[in-house]
Amino acid sequence: MAHIDTILAQAGNGSDDEKSGAVSSPIYFSTAYRHPGLGRSTGFNYSRMIQPTRKILEDELAALEHGQRAFAVSSGMAAIDLLFSSFLKEGDNFIASDDLYGGSFRYFDDISTKSGLDYKLWDGRNFQKLADLINDKTRIVWLETPSNPTMKIIDLKRTAQVVHAANPQTILAVDNTFLSPIFQNPILDGADAVVHSATKYLGGHNDILAGALILKEDGPRAETVYQNLVTRGQVLDPFSSWLLIRSLKTLHLRMARHDKSGRFLAEALKKIPGVDKVLYPGVGGMISFYLNEKYDIDLFLRGLKIFSFAESLGGAESLITIPSVQTHQYMSEKRRNQLGITSNLVRVSVGLEDQQDLLDDLTQAVRGAAIK
């Protein structure tokens, strides 16, 4: 198989060779596809089932994550819902790592109360505990690593061994939004499924809402997911599919830059007076830090000139999020405090701007936030 950089840059090229030889894949807006006769088909029929532009994207996503089958859907939450609604029924249970995207918590609480599903949280460290939590009704173990927003790392290989030894039928699923396939390949580490909010690094420009579910195998599980997707219908539209193919062509370059500037800022932030503690997983463009209590968060946010105070990540434009009032606002204060998601925790998505300009912006904004 070609290297990932080649797969990314070449996506869609050659897809229209029979008609035009277009290098950038055409966008097919047609929802209906003509059949030459009864029982005969071009392979396409109706765009909720299968759609040419989306198909190019899905084949690429599968290749990027070393899976055999991928589904491109309307958002990251739609991808999570596609996975959970495909495999869980009343009486089943699932396990999730304890520091997650806030929307995932909201979703898990929703399905557990409405659909009679039991779920337990795992700290990502105690493997004996994990083995003890898994039983014959455990359908999914859900992980996010590095964790969001406190950047804890979970050992994926070890988790996969423990999960599959405890119950070979349990699906190990990993939310790979933060690192992308450039820095982490959960399927190679033993996971059965990978989910992305493609709204973030895969899209990379703060302009597409999209999600992806990638499965290790194109077998019965893939068929179950496909049938469920046709039934529920949260597919990605043709224009967003094309935009995502286009965005992915530079994923490797963007991630290399996010990572370089991320490492630089994570080190430099530690030396800024007013920054108490920096949380950085050692790779990628996501950093969290605690602002000292003698500094005012609102003044800090108002003082930023390059960073935008906004709720997302992974784009060209650097963003700053306050998890306690944005991404994780849904969680109870008690749960937030247990996880360290306090009101002075700041999450930084390092964009593609000059790294020194970004450091200067953070430095001046922190300095200006000192309470007199």
Query: Exactly one of 55, 200, 249, 263 is catalytic; which is it?
Result: 200
Q: Which of 211, 238, 281, 315 binds ligand PLP (CB under 6 A)?
A: 211
Interactions with ligand PLP, residue window 287-316 (CB under 6 A): none
Known catalytic residue at 175 = yes
Q: Does 103 bind ligand PLP (CB under 6 A)?
A: yes
What contacts 50, CB < 8 A, 6 or more positions away?
43, 44
Known catalytic residue at 33 = no
> Which one of 37-45, 70-78, 256-264, 345-353 is the stretch in contact with ligand PLP (CB under 6 A)?
70-78
Rounded CA-CA distance 280/263 in Å is: 8
Torsion angle, alpha carbons of 5, 50, 243, 347, to 10:
-80
When the beta carbons of 28 and 242 are compared against ligand PLP, the nearer one is 242
When the beta carbons of 15 and 328 are compared against ligand PLP, the nearer one is 328
Residue type, 269: L
Rounded CA-CA distance 276/95 in Å is: 33
Query: Exactly one of 28, 81, 98, 101 is catalytic; which is it?
Result: 101
CA distances from 372 to 106, 294, 300, 353 (A): 39, 9, 13, 31
Smallest gap from residue 93 Cβ to ligand PLP (A): 21
Known catalytic residue at 101 = yes
When the beta carbons of 15 and 197 are compared against ligand PLP, the nearer one is 197
Closest-by-Cβ residue to ligand PLP is 76
Interactions with ligand PLP, residue window 141-160 (CB under 6 A): 144, 148
Query: Exactly one of 16, 48, 218, 276 is catalytic; which is it?
Result: 48
Interactions with ligand PLP, residue window 167-196 (CB under 6 A): 175, 177
Q: Apex CA 216: angle with CA 134 and CA 239, to 5°?
A: 120
Q: Which of 15, 197, 228, 324 binds ligand PLP (CB under 6 A)?
A: 197
Looking at the chain, how many residues does it have? 372
The answer for 253, left when phi > 0, alpha when psi is -120 to 50, beta otherwise, is alpha
Q: Look up residue 234 and give its two tokens.
A: 């949260």
Residue type, 265: L
Could you tell me which residues are beta bridge partners of residue 349?
A: 286, 319
Which residues sit at the interface with ligand PLP, rule CB under 6 A? 75-77, 101, 103-104, 144, 148, 175, 177, 197, 199-200, 209, 211
